[in-house]
Amino acid sequence: MNNPDYMEAKKYGEDISLDEELYRNLSGFHIKSLYGPEDIPKFDYGTDLGLPGEYPFTRGIYRTMYRGKPWTIRQLGSLGSPSEANRRIRQLIQMGSTGVSICLDMPTIMGRDSDDPMSEGEVGSCGGVAIDSLEDMRNLLEGLPLDEISINFVSNSQSPVILAMFVAVAGEQGIPLAKLNGTMQNDILKEYQAQKSYYFPPRPSMRLTIDTLRFCSENMPLFNPISISGYHLASAGATPVQELAFTLANGFTYIEEGIKAGLSVDSFAPRLSFFFKAHNDFFENIAKFRAARRIWSRTIREKYKAEDPRSWRFRVHTQTSGSSLAAQEPENNIMRVTIQALSAVLAGTQSLHTNAFDEAFSIPTPRSEKLALRAQQIIARESGVINTVDPLGGSYYIEALTNEMESVSYEYFREIENLGGVISAIEKGFYQSAIADSAFKYQEEIEKKKRIVVGLNEFVTDEEMDIELREPDPEFEKQKVADLTALKKNRDLNVVKTCLSEVRQVIQGSDNVMPVLIKAVKSRVTLGEIINVMRDIFGEFREESIY
């Protein structure tokens, strides 16, 4: 590069004395004052960007991206009882949401019925819905056009049972499984690495995940059986580059486990999807997505020999960063969420959830949920960013960051491989230690003001917080337990016992568990009863302390 104006600007930028620690992104990469062609390193495979919709998909997985079809606007629709959540979902659809996410309450997340003694005081908690039985799933999905909207179940260890209920309700409504569109989070690996809502040891949990993968691959071609999640890793403290590397390593592990189970890679890889977090660092977030698409496509094609181009595509749902929201001056979170959402759109996400501004201290209110939805709609309809495909492609800064993200990810891949792979690394405490160290460093930077959070550690005011709170219904848990008690009393106990015996037999063998689970939930067997049988056979996992 011999342009004298550029060289003078470059020299001027380098001459400025800066505190380098203040110019590092969340992954710890030093950010230069100016970028040019020489800042894009040459790798063995070259740096040709190619075109959107073409391998290696750096610029996006579809040729026309949002000019052809906007991203799925997916908002949370699962607060309160199943019936209340149903009403909320209908409202979101009327306001323009094209997909909904169904979160579960804490007892359901932990595989326990609402009448379990350990569920007391927690039913309907965590902004999620209590799903004990098929009746709850019916009430949750009543009247919804399941063949027209995309349903995302934020479920993990309990995913096989939730999937069985979903399939059963679709059958009752006469909707063919082949028309069901949506996602089951079902990413068990990240539970051990970050979220910790696991029940069983990693290897039997993986068996259940692969059973759902096979079932969906054979019966539900439009449904994503796993959403491989970096979001929870990031929320636990992983840096963006750790989120990228650890999530992709998990994805490769599911590929390998599916192949071990006898599936051809092209029979299931096209339905694997991912879940990323939109961090505060605008450009770093965009580079993370670009690197992910490139790494995934090359590895799936070259290492795992996938031939179907759909297998090479890195399809991703994004959520703005809940952990970046501050309870201090909560209206500031509206700006944070909007900036994060814009970065996800420019990064090429396929689906997006925007957090409500009051989530740092409360379950979102209808007003805050509406504002979160409107942020996406304004970006889509008013900002003009969807008018051209990949508007940031070719930016020296973006491409340099993308290459650095990719390079460091491969360093993590080698480290994980040296530990014996993802599951062995979990058992050895690698992820827990790495993520805890990153979380500590981030908090230390905030406390020392090396990283500024407006309204929290800089530009702080003493204003009183005057904001509406969403209070849970104090009678809900009592009524939910009463309803479940009545259901258990009025069902055929002999049929229930037979179904649970069949579940036990399948779990002890090697057949796919999904058919017997579908039969069981149709016979009014509850989620907690099924999970308890699994606990009895698999045992429960207890993580060893890393300290």
pLDDT value at 499 more than 60: yes
Specify if 323 maps to a domain: yes
Q: Which range marks the domain in which residue 287 is found?
A: 65-71+147-166+180-447
What string of H, E and C letters represents the secondary structure of 349-381? CCEEECCCCCCCCCCCCHHHHHHHHHHHHHHHH
pLDDT at 442: 94
pLDDT value at 149 more than 80: yes
pLDDT band of 46, cuts 50, 70, 90: very low
pLDDT at 523: 97
Specify if 86 maps to a domain: no
pLDDT band of 516, cuts 50, 70, 90: very high
Specify if 1 maps to a domain: no
Cα separation of 540 and 44, whole Å? 45
Average pLDDT for 369-374 = 93
Cα separation of 504 and 511, whole Å? 11
Token digits for 166? 């979903």
pLDDT value at 14 more than 60: no
* Nearest-10 crossing angle of helices 396-418, 240-260: 50
| pLDDT tens, residue by residue, 170-205 | 999 999 999 999 999 999 999 999 999 999 999 999
pLDDT at 79: 64
Nearest C-alpha neighbor of 85 from the set 151, 147, 137, 129: 129
Specify if 504 maps to a domain: no
Cα separation of 200 and 268, whole Å? 24
pLDDT band of 45, cuts 50, 70, 90: very low
Specify if 373 maps to a domain: yes
pLDDT at 44: 44
pLDDT at 470: 66
pLDDT at 463: 74
Cα separation of 29 and 490, whole Å? 62
Task: Please confirm whether the linkage preceding 107 is cis (ω < 30° from 0).
Answer: no
Specify if 58 maps to a domain: no
Least confident range of 18-32, 224-238, 340-354: 18-32
pLDDT value at 468 more than 80: no
pLDDT at 530: 98
Range among 393-397, 471-475, 482-486 rated most confident: 482-486
- More confident call, 427 vs 311: 311
Nearest C-alpha neighbor of 278 from the set 306, 240, 250: 240
pLDDT at 171: 96
Cα separation of 476 and 124, whole Å? 8
Average pLDDT for 471-476 = 76
Average pLDDT for 289-306 = 97
pLDDT at 1: 45
How many residues in total does the chain contain?
547
Average pLDDT for 223-245 = 97
pLDDT at 208: 97
Cα separation of 287 and 143, whole Å? 41
pLDDT at 396: 93
Nearest C-alpha neighbor of 380 from the set 329, 341, 330: 341
pLDDT at 125: 77
Helices (H), 122-263: 134-141, 159-172, 189-190, 202-219, 231-236, 240-260
Per the structure, the count of domains in the chain is 1
Average pLDDT for 394-405 = 94
| pLDDT tens, residue by residue, 63-108 | 999 999 999 998 776 666 899 889 988 888 888 888 888 999 999 9
Nearest C-alpha neighbor of 170 from the set 132, 123, 216: 216
Cα separation of 75 and 42, whole Å? 40
Cα separation of 413 and 321, whole Å? 25
| pLDDT tens, residue by residue, 350-370 | 999 999 999 988 888 888 989
CB atoms within 10 A of CB 81: 20
Specify if 34 maps to a domain: no
pLDDT at 43: 46
Specify if 55 maps to a domain: no
CATH of the domain at 191: 3.20.20.240
What's the chain's average pLDDT? Answer: 91
Angle at 125 between CA 119 and CA 129, to 5 degrees: 95
pLDDT value at 22 more than 90: no
CB atoms within 10 A of CB 432: 21
pLDDT value at 472 more than 70: no
